[in-house]
Chains A and B, each alone.
Chain A
Amino acid sequence: MEYAIEAIELRKLYGDVIALDRVTFHIKKGEIFGLLGPNGAGKTTTIKIFTGLTKPTSGQAIVAGFDVVKNAREVKKRVGWIASEVIVDDELTGWENLEIQAKLTGVKNWKERAQDLLKYFNLWEAANRPVGKYSTGMRKRLEVAMALLHSPEVLFMDEPTIGLDVGARVGLWEVVERINKDFGVTVLLTTHYMEEAERLCHRIAIINKGRIIAIGTPDELKTKYGTDIIELEVKDKVDTSVLSKFGEVILEDGKVIIKTKNAEEIIPEVVKAIGSVKSVKLKKTSLDTVFMNLTGASIEGEQVNIQRLYRRIRLARR
């Protein structure tokens, strides 16, 4: 099996800061691969290395068999890039933006292709309007059209749906699926949205602090790192020792929270063991929980801090 994208022991240092720490992954041709990680994990740095915007400190990055440092030109001919911030020239029209992209990537029959893409992305009517007058969704669609103009083998998408409304987001997902299925384009995308990763990606790598900490299909990751959460409201005090055999138990203002693997099967036993249950809530494992478990990110933790901070601000004002 030939790989479309390979990262081998990639390291990137910005001064003393380690942005990437020996990152290794292999993406097969025709695969949609997701890089998931919190802000500052090294997702954008990875994409910058693969698109030739920055050089790795050490290690190798290979696209379609070409080394991104030694054969930058060959790599750039074969890749398309979609930025997290939409980058188009606002003072020029959609058509002019496409012309620049076409001439820079050396597309021969660019006018026909540009016309097809504009029609496909529903921008044909707006082709001669300055891009500054486009809506965010239109600008994003234009950016995608620009990235596809030269029929890239590999598409790098850095948080492609950030800032889009639900409709535009689903629309873009469909586009990604279509170009992947119909034209066999390999896609490497980064995202914060678990829903997006689950819907689009064949395989996912979770990256944190510059290291890959897990890699696999969404289902594999869920089985391996996921936890179901059972939340019970109880009437009386509960003896946690009888519950510990089911999994990790947390008591929190009148609630019992049990982290476990196969929640559906053990719920009856848990209810029996506690006796006085008012209500049961079940949260099945999702990529969200996998992500939280692996990266140690906790939204609750942040909320506590904000409460404390807010209290302090109020005290200071008096």
Chain B
Amino acid sequence: MIREIYVLYKREFLKLIRSKYMWFMMIAQPLMWILFFGNSLAGMPSSFLNQYFGVSNYLTYMLPGMISILMMTMGVFASMSLVFDKRVGYLKRILTTPTPKSAIGLAKALGAVTRGILTMSILLFLGIVLGVQFTVNLIALLEWFVSLVAVGIGFSLIFMALTANTADVQAPGAVMNLITMPLMFTSTALFPKQFFPSWLQIISEANPLTYLTEIGRSALVYGTIPSLSHLIAVLTFTAVSMVLGTIVIEKTLTAE
């Protein structure tokens, strides 16, 4: 199993770093988020920013949230890549070997996480270049990194499980709309939850992106050690989606 995951991950990795368009997207996407969205509140009085977000710069507040959203959307690439492998027949090639189907899913999930970590590094670098001041806590930083990888794997497996039995190239997009939009807006990735209506607060507390984002803010913005419950919440999400995801992929992944 490890050998198969390793070599299939190597394939994902090589294809990833050899694609010019991937590099372009990896740089262009964060740049647009930072330049356009991150600066959308730049002219707001800092007293208001401090009261509302707890920091005087919205970009600082937003970056960990943006990275959470980024990690979630990486799952779409895993799902697209799986459908693409069906379309070109490559999945048949893999499935005529004794490779477990879950190994294919896990390798693609790791590929998506790699892409996410690379994009995230560029994003943080751009943030620093644009003058974002971080207050770093190292333990929290380590926790955050683990959480990012975990959530990336979790979402990738969910996305792939939902598109395992189709070769329709539209499917990953449909699933993306179904999952990413609601999760993005019901988490604290973009706005703090103390001003949410109470029903939205409840939803946001069941949303893994909220915990991932809060761990990220502890690591970069507040410089504090996050509550252990956040990490437990993230790892629980990943464990459940890994178990369910691999079972569904094992049962429903079709060769074409």
Pairwise interchain contact A104-B97, C-beta atoms closer than 8 A: yes
A103 x B6 contact (CB < 8 A): yes
Which residues of A are in contact with B by a Cβ distance under 8 Å? 48, 51-54, 72-73, 76-77, 79, 81, 83, 85, 87-89, 91-92, 96, 99-101, 103-106, 146
Dominant secondary structure at the B interface: helix
B95 interface residue (CB < 8 Å to A)? yes
- Given A79-B96, A100-B8, A104-B97: A85 and B90 interface contact (C-beta under 8 Å): no
Is A76 in contact with B11, judged by CB distance below 8 angstroms? no
Question: Chain B residues with Cβ under 8 A from A91's Cβ?
Answer: 14-15, 18-19
Does residue B92 face the partner (Cβ distance < 8 Å to A)?
A: yes
Residue of B nearest to A89 (CB): B90
> Quick one: which of B200-256 are within 8 Å of A by CB?
255-256
> Contacts A87-B88, A91-B18 known; A100 to B11 CB distance under 8 Å?
yes
What's the Cα separation between A101 and B4 when bound, in Å? 10
Contacts A83-B93, A87-B89, A87-B92; A99 near B7 (Cβ below 8 A): yes
Query: Closest residue to B255 on the A side, CB-wise?
Result: A53
**Chain A proximity mask over B80-95: 1 for CB below 8 Å, otherwise 0:** 0000000011101111
Identify 14 new A-B residue pairs, CB closer than 8 A, beyond the known A79-B96, A89-B15: A48-B255, A52-B96, A53-B255, A54-B255, A76-B97, A77-B98, A83-B93, A85-B89, A87-B93, A91-B15, A96-B11, A99-B10, A103-B6, A104-B94
- The answer to the question of B99 belonging to the interface, with a C-beta cut-off of 8 Å to chain A, is yes
A53 in contact with B95 given A87-B89, A92-B14, A100-B11 (CB within 8 Å) = yes
Nearest B residue to A48, CB-CB: B255
| Chain A residues closer than 8 Å to B256, beta-carbon distance | 53
Name 8 interchain pairs, CB-CB below 8 A, sorted by A. A76-B97, A85-B89, A91-B14, A92-B11, A92-B14, A100-B10, A103-B3, A104-B94
What's the nearest-Cβ distance from chain B to residue A140, in Å? Answer: 14
Which of A81, A88, A101, A103 has the most chain B CB within a 10 Å cutoff? A103
CA distance A127 to B135 in the complex (A): 50
Q: What sequence of 0s and 1s flags, for each residue 13-57 of chain B, a beta carbon within 8 Å of any chain A beta carbon?
A: 011001100000000000000000000000000000000000000
B89 touches A73 (CB 8 A): no
Chain B residues in 8 Å Cβ range of A81:
93, 96
**Alpha-carbon distance A85/B89, docked complex (angstroms):** 8
Chain A residues lying within 8 Å of B3, measured Cβ to Cβ, are 103, 106
Q: How far is the CA of A54 from the CA of B33 in the complex (A)?
A: 45
List the A side residues contacting B19 at CB < 8 Å. Answer: 91
- Residues of B at the A interface (CB closer than 8 Å) are 3-4, 6-8, 10-11, 14-15, 18-19, 88-90, 92-99, 255-256
Q: Report B-chain residues with C-beta under 8 Å of the C-beta of A103.
A: 3-4, 6-7
Which residues in A have their C-beta under 8 angstroms from that of B8? 100, 104
**Residues in B whose Cβ lies below 8 Å from that of A104:** 4, 7-8, 94, 97-99
Chain A residues with CB under 8 Å of B88's CB are: 87
Asked whether, in the complex, the Cβ of A52 is within 8 Å of the Cβ of B95, the reply is yes
Shortest B218–chain A CB gap in Å is: 40
Interfacial chain B residues near A51, Cβ < 8 Å: 96
Establish whether residues A96 and B97, one from each chain, have CB atoms under 8 Å apart when the complex forms: no
Tell me if A89 and B11 are in contact (CB < 8 A): yes
Q: Closest Cβ of chain B: how far from A219's Cβ, in Å? A: 33
- Would A83 and B255 be within 8 Å (CB), given that A73-B98, A100-B7 are in contact? no
Least Cβ–Cβ distance between A87 and chain B, in angstroms: 4
Bound together, the chains give a CA A199 to CA B93 distance in angstroms of 28
Give 4 closest A-B pairs by Cβ, nearest first. Answer: A103-B7, A104-B97, A81-B96, A76-B98
Which residues of chain A are near B93, meaning CB under 8 Å? 81, 83, 87-88, 101, 146
Which residues of A lie under 8 Å from residue B89 when comparing CB positions?
Answer: 83, 85, 87
CA of A108 to CA of B78 in the docked complex: distance in angstroms? Answer: 29
For residue A112, give the distance in angstroms from its CB to the closest CB of chain B. Answer: 18
| In contact, A105 and B92 (Cβ under 8 angstroms) | no
Q: Provide the bound-state CA to CA distance between A51 and B98, in Å.
A: 10
A77 to B96, CA, bound (A): 9
Interchain nearest-CB distance for B165 vs A (Å): 13
How far, in whole Å, are A85 and B90 apart by their CA atoms in the complex?
Answer: 10
The reply to whether A105 and B98 form a contact with Cβ atoms under 8 Å apart is yes
Question: Chain A residues with Cβ under 8 A from B92's Cβ?
Answer: 53, 83, 87
Task: Report chain A residues within 8 Å CB of B99.
Answer: 104
> Separation in Å of the B19 CB from the closest CB of chain A?
8
Chain A residue nearest in CB terms to B16: A91
Q: Smallest distance from the beta carbon of B102 to chain A beta carbons, Å?
A: 14
- List the A side residues contacting B11 at CB < 8 Å: 89, 92, 96, 100
Minimum CB distance partner of A73 in chain B = B98
Residues of chain B within 8 A of A87, CB atoms compared: 88-90, 92-93
Please give, as numbers and ranges, the residues of chain A lying within 8 Å of B14 by CB-CB distance: 91-92, 96
CA distance A51 to B96 in the complex (A): 6
